[in-house]
Structures are given as C-alpha cells and as structure tokens.
Amino acid sequence: MSIPQYIKTPSDLLNIQDAKNIGASRALLNAAEIKREELRKKKLMRCDEDLKKDFVFILGGIDILTWLLELPIKAKEYYESTKDDL
C-alpha cells in the first residue's frame, strides 16, 4: 500500500493513524469489520443475475474492507518511518 498515494497531508496522516482512538472513526471501522466478517461467511457462488450474491463481488467487498481496516495501521507505520521528514 502506497500511503502517500492515498493520504496527501501530514494532518490527514495523523488523523487516519489515530482512527481507532476517535469515536466516530472507531465506530465506522468496527462496522466495517463486522460487515467484512459477514461477507466472509457468505456462501460463495457465481450469480450473474444478482451481483450482491456473486462471489467476485463479495470477494471485492472483503478486499476493500480489509484495505480500509489496514489503513490506520499502515499510516502509523509510514508516519513512524518518515516523521523526521514531515
């Protein structure tokens, strides 16, 4: 994950790395984690008629939720490795 590609300012970097400590952000991340687990438990099948039942759509949802949940961790790692340069 290329943090500078997604997080453009030092203040955004600090906010995102602290997301688990901010009430509203924490609630959103917790909801995303619950939704990811729901998607993981779904029966995977090919369904061209209803994309919400299609395994490709479901796997894409799992992927983006995992990315979102990892973003604060990756932002913190990036900040720690570059804080002297910011």
C-alpha separations of 15 from 9, 33, 68, 82, 85 in Å: 10, 19, 14, 16, 18
pTM, two decimal places: 0.79
pLDDT at 86 over 70: no
With contact defined as beta carbons under 8 Å apart, do 8 and 83 qualify?
no
With contact defined as beta carbons under 8 Å apart, do 68 and 32 qualify?
yes
- For 22-51, what is each residue's pLDDT tens digit? 889 999 999 999 999 999 998 889 999 998
Domain boundaries, the chain: 3-81
Which DSSP category does 54 fall into? Answer: B
How far apart, in whole angstroms, are the C-alpha atoms of residue 42 and residue 58? 8
- For 38-85, what is each residue's pLDDT tens digit? 999 988 899 999 988 899 999 999 999 999 999 999 999 999 998 777
C-alpha separations of 67 from 6, 46, 47, 84 in Å: 12, 24, 25, 26
State residue 83's pLDDT score.
Answer: 79
Q: Which amino acid is at 56?
A: V
State residue 31's pLDDT score.
Answer: 95
